[in-house]
Protein backbone atom coordinates (compact mmCIF):
# COMPACT_ATOMS: atom_id res chain seq x y z
CA UNK A 1 0.00 0.00 0.00
CA UNK A 2 1.30 3.43 -0.86
CA UNK A 3 1.09 6.42 1.44
CA UNK A 4 1.85 10.05 0.67
CA UNK A 5 4.30 11.96 2.83
CA UNK A 6 5.74 15.41 2.62
CA UNK A 7 9.45 15.95 3.10
CA UNK A 8 11.03 19.33 3.72
CA UNK A 9 14.31 20.59 5.02
CA UNK A 10 14.02 22.59 8.23
CA UNK A 11 17.04 23.99 10.06
CA UNK A 12 19.41 21.49 8.46
CA UNK A 13 17.18 18.49 9.25
CA UNK A 14 14.76 16.71 6.95
CA UNK A 15 11.21 16.44 8.26
CA UNK A 16 8.75 13.88 6.87
CA UNK A 17 5.04 14.05 7.64
CA UNK A 18 2.33 11.55 6.77
CA UNK A 19 -0.69 12.91 4.91
CA UNK A 20 -2.83 9.99 6.05
CA UNK A 21 -1.80 10.44 9.68
CA UNK A 22 -0.95 14.14 10.15
CA UNK A 23 0.13 13.52 13.74
CA UNK A 24 2.99 11.31 12.53
CA UNK A 25 6.22 13.16 11.93
CA UNK A 26 9.82 11.99 11.61
CA UNK A 27 13.16 13.76 11.29
CA UNK A 28 16.51 12.73 9.90
CA UNK A 29 19.83 14.19 8.86
CA UNK A 30 19.07 13.06 5.30
CA UNK A 31 15.86 12.80 3.29
CA UNK A 32 16.26 9.02 3.12
CA UNK A 33 16.60 8.80 6.90
CA UNK A 34 13.48 10.90 7.48
CA UNK A 35 11.51 8.81 4.96
CA UNK A 36 12.70 5.56 6.54
CA UNK A 37 11.59 6.78 9.97
CA UNK A 38 8.16 7.94 8.80
CA UNK A 39 7.75 4.62 6.96
CA UNK A 40 8.40 2.74 10.20
CA UNK A 41 5.91 4.92 12.07
CA UNK A 42 3.19 4.45 9.45
CA UNK A 43 3.80 0.67 9.40
CA UNK A 44 3.50 0.58 13.19
CA UNK A 45 0.27 2.57 13.03
CA UNK A 46 -1.20 0.22 10.40
CA UNK A 47 -0.19 -3.01 12.17
CA UNK A 48 -3.33 -4.97 12.96
CA UNK A 49 -5.59 -2.59 11.02
CA UNK A 50 -7.08 -2.63 7.59
CA UNK A 51 -8.35 0.08 5.29
CA UNK A 52 -11.82 -0.04 3.77
CA UNK A 53 -13.53 2.37 1.41
CA UNK A 54 -16.77 4.03 2.36
CA UNK A 55 -18.90 6.51 0.46
CA UNK A 56 -20.27 9.39 2.50
CA UNK A 57 -21.22 11.59 -0.42
CA UNK A 58 -24.63 13.17 -0.28
CA UNK A 59 -24.47 13.74 -4.02
CA UNK A 60 -23.89 17.46 -3.50
CA UNK A 61 -20.20 18.34 -4.10
CA UNK A 62 -20.58 21.48 -1.99
CA UNK A 63 -21.43 19.34 1.02
CA UNK A 64 -17.70 18.59 1.25
CA UNK A 65 -16.55 22.20 1.22
CA UNK A 66 -14.27 22.94 4.16
CA UNK A 67 -13.98 19.32 5.29
CA UNK A 68 -10.18 19.32 5.09
CA UNK A 69 -9.34 21.46 8.10
CA UNK A 70 -6.83 21.51 10.93
CA UNK A 71 -3.50 19.77 10.45
CA UNK A 72 -4.76 17.82 7.43
CA UNK A 73 -5.89 21.03 5.76
CA UNK A 74 -2.57 22.70 6.53
CA UNK A 75 -0.66 19.72 5.10
CA UNK A 76 -2.80 19.86 1.96
CA UNK A 77 -2.13 23.59 1.60
CA UNK A 78 1.64 22.96 1.89
CA UNK A 79 1.44 20.26 -0.80
CA UNK A 80 -0.55 22.50 -3.14
CA UNK A 81 1.86 25.40 -2.57
CA UNK A 82 4.84 23.13 -3.30
CA UNK A 83 3.17 21.80 -6.46
CA UNK A 84 2.65 25.36 -7.68
CA UNK A 85 6.26 26.29 -6.83
CA UNK A 86 7.53 23.30 -8.80
CA UNK A 87 5.23 24.08 -11.73
CA UNK A 88 6.36 27.70 -11.79
CA UNK A 89 10.04 26.73 -11.56
CA UNK A 90 9.65 24.29 -14.47
CA UNK A 91 7.81 26.92 -16.51
CA UNK A 92 10.44 29.56 -15.73
CA UNK A 93 13.23 27.16 -16.72
CA UNK A 94 11.48 26.31 -19.98
CA UNK A 95 10.50 29.90 -20.82
CA UNK A 96 13.10 32.24 -19.25
CA UNK A 97 12.32 35.92 -19.39
Give per-residue pLDDT as tens, 22-62: 899 999 999 999 999 999 999 999 998 887 878 776 666 55
Count of domains for the chain: 1
Q: Which domain holds residue 11?
A: 5-49+68-94
Whether residue 58 is contained in a domain is answered as: no
Is there a domain that residue 86 lies in? Answer: yes
Residues 4-17 have pLDDT tens digits of 999 999 999 999 99
Number of CB atoms found within 10 A of residue 38's CB: 24
Q: Is residue 82 part of a domain?
A: yes
pTM of the model: 0.54
CB 40 within 8 A of CB 3: no
More confident residue, 68 or 76: 76
Amino acid sequence: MEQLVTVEQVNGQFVAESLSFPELRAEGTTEDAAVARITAKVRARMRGRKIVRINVSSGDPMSHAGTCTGEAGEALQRIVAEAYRQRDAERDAEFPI
